[in-house]
Amino acid sequence: MDTSELIRTRYGAFAATSGQQESCCAASSGDGGYAIEQGLYTDDELAGVPDSARALSRGCGNPTGFAELQTGEVVVDLGCGGGIDLVLAAAKVGPAGRVIGVDFAAQMIEQATKTVAEAGVTTAELVTEDISHTQLPAESADVVLSNCVISARW
Protein backbone atom coordinates (compact mmCIF):
# COMPACT_ATOMS: atom_id res chain seq x y z
CA MET A 1 0.00 0.00 0.00
CA ASP A 2 1.47 3.36 -0.98
CA THR A 3 1.56 6.30 1.44
CA SER A 4 -1.41 8.08 -0.11
CA GLU A 5 -3.60 4.99 0.18
CA LEU A 6 -2.46 4.41 3.76
CA ILE A 7 -3.41 7.96 4.72
CA ARG A 8 -6.78 7.69 2.94
CA THR A 9 -7.52 4.42 4.74
CA ARG A 10 -6.54 5.72 8.18
CA TYR A 11 -8.40 9.04 7.82
CA GLY A 12 -11.41 7.19 6.46
CA ALA A 13 -11.44 4.89 9.49
CA PHE A 14 -11.04 7.90 11.79
CA ALA A 15 -13.98 9.65 10.10
CA ALA A 16 -16.12 6.51 10.25
CA THR A 17 -15.82 6.60 14.05
CA SER A 18 -16.65 10.33 14.13
CA GLY A 19 -13.23 11.04 15.57
CA GLN A 20 -13.63 8.64 18.49
CA GLN A 21 -10.86 6.30 17.34
CA GLU A 22 -7.37 7.78 17.26
CA SER A 23 -6.36 6.01 14.08
CA CYS A 24 -4.98 8.67 11.83
CA CYS A 25 -2.52 10.97 13.42
CA ALA A 26 -0.95 12.44 16.53
CA ALA A 27 -2.77 11.78 19.76
CA SER A 28 -4.99 14.42 21.24
CA SER A 29 -7.45 14.78 24.06
CA GLY A 30 -10.34 13.83 21.79
CA ASP A 31 -11.76 17.36 21.74
CA GLY A 32 -10.00 18.25 18.50
CA GLY A 33 -6.57 18.44 17.04
CA TYR A 34 -3.56 20.55 17.78
CA ALA A 35 -5.04 23.86 16.61
CA ILE A 36 -8.04 23.55 18.91
CA GLU A 37 -6.02 22.32 21.86
CA GLN A 38 -3.52 25.18 21.44
CA GLY A 39 -6.26 27.82 21.32
CA LEU A 40 -5.64 28.83 17.71
CA TYR A 41 -9.40 29.10 17.17
CA THR A 42 -11.24 31.63 19.33
CA ASP A 43 -14.17 30.65 21.51
CA ASP A 44 -16.38 32.82 19.30
CA GLU A 45 -15.25 30.92 16.20
CA LEU A 46 -15.78 27.53 17.81
CA ALA A 47 -19.25 28.50 19.07
CA GLY A 48 -20.60 28.14 15.54
CA VAL A 49 -18.84 24.84 14.81
CA PRO A 50 -20.61 21.54 15.53
CA ASP A 51 -18.94 19.31 18.11
CA SER A 52 -18.56 16.58 15.48
CA ALA A 53 -16.34 18.84 13.36
CA ARG A 54 -14.19 19.66 16.38
CA ALA A 55 -13.72 15.96 17.14
CA LEU A 56 -12.57 15.35 13.56
CA SER A 57 -10.27 18.36 13.33
CA ARG A 58 -6.59 17.53 13.01
CA GLY A 59 -5.37 20.84 11.65
CA CYS A 60 -2.36 22.62 13.03
CA GLY A 61 -3.49 26.17 12.31
CA ASN A 62 -6.47 28.43 11.74
CA PRO A 63 -6.30 29.53 8.10
CA THR A 64 -9.62 31.39 8.27
CA GLY A 65 -8.21 33.50 11.07
CA PHE A 66 -5.67 35.21 8.81
CA ALA A 67 -6.94 34.67 5.25
CA GLU A 68 -8.81 37.99 5.22
CA LEU A 69 -11.83 36.38 3.58
CA GLN A 70 -14.32 38.82 2.08
CA THR A 71 -18.06 38.70 1.56
CA GLY A 72 -18.97 37.01 -1.71
CA GLU A 73 -15.70 35.14 -2.25
CA VAL A 74 -15.41 31.52 -3.35
CA VAL A 75 -13.17 29.57 -0.96
CA VAL A 76 -11.74 26.11 -1.63
CA ASP A 77 -10.55 24.09 1.36
CA LEU A 78 -8.12 21.40 0.19
CA GLY A 79 -8.22 18.48 2.60
CA CYS A 80 -11.35 19.79 4.32
CA GLY A 81 -11.69 16.85 6.69
CA GLY A 82 -14.78 17.12 8.88
CA GLY A 83 -15.44 20.70 7.81
CA ILE A 84 -14.38 23.03 10.63
CA ASP A 85 -12.72 25.51 8.27
CA LEU A 86 -15.60 25.24 5.79
CA VAL A 87 -18.03 26.42 8.47
CA LEU A 88 -15.76 29.28 9.51
CA ALA A 89 -15.09 30.33 5.90
CA ALA A 90 -18.81 30.22 5.07
CA ALA A 91 -19.53 32.59 7.95
CA LYS A 92 -16.99 35.05 6.59
CA VAL A 93 -18.00 34.94 2.91
CA GLY A 94 -21.69 35.01 3.77
CA PRO A 95 -24.63 33.90 1.65
CA ALA A 96 -23.23 35.69 -1.41
CA GLY A 97 -20.09 33.54 -1.24
CA ARG A 98 -19.44 29.85 -1.59
CA VAL A 99 -17.22 27.24 0.04
CA ILE A 100 -15.93 24.11 -1.66
CA GLY A 101 -14.49 21.30 0.42
CA VAL A 102 -12.22 18.73 -1.19
CA ASP A 103 -11.02 15.58 0.57
CA PHE A 104 -9.84 12.24 -0.75
CA ALA A 105 -11.48 10.25 2.06
CA ALA A 106 -15.13 9.70 1.19
CA GLN A 107 -15.89 9.18 4.89
CA MET A 108 -14.55 12.67 5.65
CA ILE A 109 -16.75 14.17 2.95
CA GLU A 110 -19.72 12.35 4.53
CA GLN A 111 -18.84 13.90 7.89
CA ALA A 112 -18.28 17.35 6.36
CA THR A 113 -21.70 17.09 4.72
CA LYS A 114 -23.25 16.53 8.15
CA THR A 115 -21.17 19.36 9.62
CA VAL A 116 -22.22 22.01 7.12
CA ALA A 117 -25.86 20.93 7.39
CA GLU A 118 -25.79 21.08 11.20
CA ALA A 119 -24.11 24.50 11.06
CA GLY A 120 -26.77 25.75 8.63
CA VAL A 121 -24.32 26.34 5.78
CA THR A 122 -26.23 26.28 2.50
CA THR A 123 -23.44 27.54 0.25
CA ALA A 124 -21.15 24.51 0.45
CA GLU A 125 -20.13 22.07 -2.23
CA LEU A 126 -18.25 18.94 -1.18
CA VAL A 127 -16.07 16.89 -3.50
CA THR A 128 -14.37 13.55 -2.95
CA GLU A 129 -11.10 13.62 -4.87
CA ASP A 130 -7.36 13.74 -4.45
CA ILE A 131 -6.19 17.35 -4.15
CA SER A 132 -3.22 16.60 -6.40
CA HIS A 133 -5.64 15.79 -9.23
CA THR A 134 -8.60 18.02 -8.53
CA GLN A 135 -11.11 18.53 -11.31
CA LEU A 136 -12.05 22.04 -10.18
CA PRO A 137 -12.02 24.47 -13.09
CA ALA A 138 -9.07 26.86 -13.35
CA GLU A 139 -9.69 30.19 -11.67
CA SER A 140 -12.78 28.85 -9.87
CA ALA A 141 -11.72 30.17 -6.46
CA ASP A 142 -10.81 33.49 -4.94
CA VAL A 143 -9.03 31.84 -1.99
CA VAL A 144 -7.56 28.37 -1.46
CA LEU A 145 -7.07 27.14 2.11
CA SER A 146 -5.43 24.04 3.46
CA ASN A 147 -4.90 23.25 7.11
CA CYS A 148 -1.78 21.07 7.45
CA VAL A 149 -2.65 18.92 4.46
CA ILE A 150 -0.38 19.91 1.60
CA SER A 151 3.05 18.38 1.45
CA ALA A 152 5.01 19.25 -1.61
CA ARG A 153 8.31 18.37 -3.13
CA TRP A 154 9.59 21.15 -5.39
Find out if CATH 3.40.50.150 is the number for domain 3-145: yes
pLDDT exceeds 90 at position 118: yes
pTM of the model as a whole:
0.85
In the chain, what are the domain boundaries? 3-145
Per-residue pLDDT of 56-106, as tens digits, reads: 787 788 999 999 999 999 999 999 999 999 999 999 999 999 999 999 999
Q: Minimal CA–CA distance to 83: which of 68, 95, 101?
A: 101
pLDDT exceeds 60 at position 30: no
The sheet that has 98-103: what strands, in order across it? Answer: 124-128, 98-103, 74-78, 143-145
Per-residue pLDDT of 120-146, as tens digits, reads: 999 999 999 988 888 888 888 999 999
Confidence of residue 25 (pLDDT cuts 50, 70, 90): low
Lowest mean pLDDT among 16-20, 37-41, 48-52: 16-20
